[in-house]
Amino acid sequence: MSTATYRVVIPAAGAGKRMGADRNKLMLELRDRPIIAWTLDVFEADPACTEIVLAINPLEQEWFTSIIASYKTSIRLVAGGAERQESVLRGLEALEGEGIVLIHDGARPFISQAAIHAVVQAAVLDKAAILAVPIKDTVKRIEANHISETVPREHLMAAQTPQAFDLATIRTVHEKAATKYLGTDDASLIEWDGGKVTIVHGHYENIKMTTPDDLWFGEAILMKRGK
């Protein structure tokens, strides 16, 4: 069965504070290539991806323009906002028509095409779907630096991206939430609005480059993959 086509919005205007970098973390390199280039490669290689929208800091437009010049997939740059949620909304507003849209962290360069297709197909059926993996560690709730509760992990999962949605649905919810609710991811906006989100099992290699240690993990994944 062929996979439905999709477009993808990538918020890429972050400052990289948790990475401790002096620039946008997507500019940092893995194997002599920027993190964002590894991410774009995945969608470039997927015939089901028809367009990419990068929501960027306008001050970095020249750098991003040079990075996307060699890609054949249509890539548009739009001005992002101060918060990730605002950047995503601006990316969604740049898209016309209908269909499935993915929202993906630019700092997750190790997503597999199989996982992308699985979450797209789930969104075709249910209008909203995300990738997630079971929590491995025991989770503690703390108060004043002491454990107040051990949280049962059987029903806990760690959310990943891409998250896939019916375009009209997620754009409407984003517009509604813009002045009322700041979510931690795009699925949380659907939940806030009373909607349901389907879970699709992701994979543990789909890490987000967030802290300096993640760069080491990223190098190890590339080595494992023969890159």
Domains, the chain, ordered by start: 6-224 (3.90.550.10)
Model confidence over 15-61: pLDDT tens digits?
A: 766 665 667 899 999 989 999 999 999 999 999 999 999 999 999 99
Structure tokens at 104: 């993906």
Q: What is the pLDDT of residue 18?
A: 65
Note the pTM of the prediction, 2 decimals: 0.94
Instruction: Check whether 185 has a pLDDT greater than 90.
Output: yes
Looking at the chain, the whole-number percentage of residues with pLDDT higher than 90 is 88
Instruction: Check whether 227 has a pLDDT greater than 70.
Output: yes
Instruction: Output the average pLDDT for the chain.
Output: 94
Chain-centroid distance, C-alpha 145: 31
For residue 212, cis peptide bond before it (omega within 30 degrees of 0): no
| Dihedral angle of Cα 92, 29, 57, 101, to the nearest 10 degrees | 0
The amino acid occupying position 15 is A
Q: What is the pLDDT of residue 14?
A: 75
Instruction: Check whether 1 has a pLDDT greater than 60.
Output: no
Helices (H), 83-159: 84-93, 113-126
Q: What is the pLDDT of residue 17?
A: 65
Structure tokens at 70: 């060699």
Closest CA to 32 of 224, 204, 222, 225: 222
Q: Taking the CB of residue 69, how many other CB atoms lie within 10 A of it?
A: 8
| Cβ pair 141, 71 in contact under 8 A | no
Q: What is the pLDDT of residue 226?
A: 86
Instruction: Check whether 88 has a pLDDT greater than 60.
Output: yes
Mean pLDDT over 124-133 rounds to 97
